Amino acid sequence: MTALTPSQTPAWLALEAHARATATLHTRALFDADPQRFSRMHAELPGLLFDYSKHAVTAETMALLQDLARERGVPEARAAMLRGDAINVTEHRAVLHTALRAQSDTGLVVDGQPVYPLVQAELAKMQALSERLGRGELLGHTGEPITDIVNIGIGGSDLGPVMVSEALRPFWREGLRAHFVSNVDGADLTGVLGRVRAATTLFLIASKTFTTDETLTNAHSARAWLLHQLGAGPEAVAKHFVALSTNTAGVVEFGIDPANMLEFWDWVGGRYSLWSAIGTSLACVLGMEHFDALLAGAADVDAHFRDAPLDQNIPVLMALLGVFHHNFRGAATHAVLPYDQHLHRFPAYLQQADMESNGKRVRRSGEDVVGYETGPVVWGEPGTNGQHAFYQLLHQGTGVVPADFLVAARSQCPLGRHHDKLVANCFAQTEALMRGRTLAEARAELRSSGLPPDEVERLAPHKVFPGNRSTSTFLYEQLDPRTLGRLIALYEHKIFVQGVIWDVNSYDQMGVELGKQLAKAILPELDGQGEVLGHDASTAALITRYRDLRRG
């Protein structure tokens, strides 16, 4: 990889010059000038189309971006990740979520251990658990079959499983339900416990480290509730608690027998862990065949990412387009807009995946702070709801917000004309964002509605849409497990490529630590009586006022 700062590389400088030279180009004009634009600016996987022709870019932009990818060593970095090099440089760890979904043994060895057999052994345990559940053979302490799974975890130990379980609701097995508790706010656990019966509930305690305070607090409260409800002693825990973790000692200390533990490894990052034992709630509620299909979908994309040339490589294209908008066009955020109600947690899932990975300011070597934008704010809501909330700003606001639109050709829940209407809205939004509406068009439209000339002039400026707002559209056959696996993996690899270009370590998360440390210090102070010392005046006043208010 080049020793130059990314923003000093020839390709970066060429992109800066190119961005200046093309600042006034409008995508509408690019479409008018080139009827073949769509055919040249899309890429495909079986059953999935990625259309990026509505981005405000030209063929030259794409060529320069590919130069940047090569100069930044993306192909070499990709090979290093896939062969298990310790690319998580701060933690000296390999990054091998791809190995969790490998469809055959490629002979990969990490820390002296062949990876494929390890993964397969854990998958076999997941399958066994899932099958016993499915057959009604998994019995609780009182002998009743388990019907409800409660996953207790947070961050990567929650968001992936929640998102997938919501996305694949129509695939849930009959008679089984999954619930998720993440927040240390007691309202979360209380809400879920109000919906389940202790005798028929299995708690999955999902924590890579098994030290996360929120998860352990919820797990201890869940255990106390269970034993109280059943009127049982600790012997009941074995029938109702399973641990998903890398930390056997922590699991034992909590009181879960290692026989009731599904394991994964430190080369699986938390936000990339839904493919591991962390996905056990999914294997349970969807059935193993669907979990396997999810893995197979991700593996399809791993192969595509590994083999497709850069200019046809969907995650690479997604990454490069993002880099162009964030670093050369001033976009600070990136919207993810699924026209798919069941993907309503997809933006939240991607927030962690992307922002915890690339929300960094120090270069991989630690030698300096980057002098350019890195990870954007990722946000979004499903369409069409978002259209009645924040799309106003997307169309007519002053900022640039590149956006991903995701939509299925076949609905998971066909109902009259609902799906065609949904799709029509999706396509209309990307067209409107791209085309905009000129002042002349606004005037003509107002005139044709019969308004007097002075009203036309008064209103026309407000009806102008600048257009030229860049969007990608992902059109897929149906949101099934395999397609969802593909979508997730596309974003995972996009994040990887951007991390390489920005020269940040996408695989640590040190930015979450300081707040955790301070919370530990503040907790005992909330019970204190005297003066609050050692804090700034604001924090000290808040602690004091909290104590007063809590007393009532």
Least Cβ distance, residue 352 to ligand F6P (angstroms): 7
Q: Cα 189 from chain centroid?
A: 23
Q: Which is nearer to ligand F6P, 27 or 509 (CB)?
A: 509
Least Cβ distance, residue 270 to ligand F6P (angstroms): 3
Phi, psi (rounded to 5 degrees) for 201: -115, 135
Q: Which is nearer to ligand F6P, 270 or 467 (CB)?
A: 270
388 part of the active site: yes
Least Cβ distance, residue 416 to ligand F6P (angstroms): 41
Least Cβ distance, residue 495 to ligand F6P (angstroms): 13
- Is-contact 231 199, C-beta < 8 A? no
Catalytic position from the list 367, 388, 462, 531: 388
Phi, psi (rounded to 5 degrees) for 259: -65, -25
Closest CA to 69 of 375, 400, 324: 324
Indicate the Cα dihedral angle 269, 270, 274, 278, nearest 10°: 120
Alpha-carbon distance of 522 to 339, in angstroms, equals 43
SS3 149: strand
Written as six digits, the tokens of 14 are 């060429």
- Is-contact 251 261, C-beta < 8 A? yes
Q: Where are the beta strands (DSSP E) in 314-358?
A: 333-339
Question: Which amino acid is located at 549 in the chain?
Answer: L
Written as six digits, the tokens of 168 are 């694949």
Q: Which is nearer to ligand F6P, 159 or 198 (CB)?
A: 159
CB-based contacts of 84, cutoff 8 Å, min separation 6: 94, 96, 99, 108, 109, 110, 115, 267
Q: What is the DSSP string of 444-478?
A: HHHHHTT--HHHHHHHGGGG-B-----EEEEEEEE
Q: Which is nearer to ligand F6P, 208 or 482 (CB)?
A: 208
Q: Which is nearer to ligand F6P, 154 or 320 (CB)?
A: 154
Instruction: Tell how strand 177-181 and strand 42-45 pair up.
Output: unpaired
Catalytic position from the list 220, 228, 421, 516: 516
Written as six digits, the tokens of 177 are 């339900």
Least Cβ distance, residue 271 to ligand F6P (angstroms): 5
Question: Which amino acid is located at 284 in the chain?
Answer: C
Q: Which is nearer to ligand F6P, 27 or 273 (CB)?
A: 273
Three-class DSSP labels, 117-138: HHHHHHHHHHHHHHHHHHCCCC
- Report the largest interatomic distance among the alpha carbons of the chain, rounded to a whole angstrom: 83
Q: Please report, as ranges, the residues that interact with ligand F6P according to CB under 6 A.
A: 154-157, 207-209, 212, 215, 270-271, 356, 509, 512
CA distances from 323 to 221, 316, 461 (A): 44, 10, 32
Least Cβ distance, residue 109 to ligand F6P (angstroms): 25
Query: Under the phi-then-psi rule, with left for phi > 0, alpha for psi from -120 to 50, and beta for the rest, what region is 255?
Result: left
Least Cβ distance, residue 543 to ligand F6P (angstroms): 24
Q: Where are the beta strands (DSSP E) in 67-199?
A: 109-110, 113-114, 148-152, 177-181
Residue 113 pairs in a beta bridge with 110
Written as six digits, the tokens of 308 are 């497709």
Measure the CA angle with vertex 359, ends 317 and 212; round to 5°.
Answer: 120
Phi, psi (rounded to 5 degrees) for 365: -75, -15
Q: Which is nearer to ligand F6P, 158 or 525 (CB)?
A: 158
Least Cβ distance, residue 189 to ligand F6P (angstroms): 16
Q: Using the 8-state DSSP alphabet, how is residue 434 labeled?
A: H
- Is-contact 19 328, C-beta < 8 A? yes
Q: Which is nearer to ligand F6P, 42 or 271 (CB)?
A: 271
Q: Using the 8-state DSSP alphabet, how is residue 80 labeled?
A: H
Catalytic position from the list 356, 381, 492, 525: 356
Question: Helix, strand, coil % (nearest 5) of the chain?
Answer: 55, 15, 30
Q: Which is nearer to ligand F6P, 241 or 391 (CB)?
A: 241
Least Cβ distance, residue 210 to ligand F6P (angstroms): 7
Q: Which is nearer to ligand F6P, 30 or 262 (CB)?
A: 262
For the annotated catalytic residues, the residue numbers are 356, 388, 516
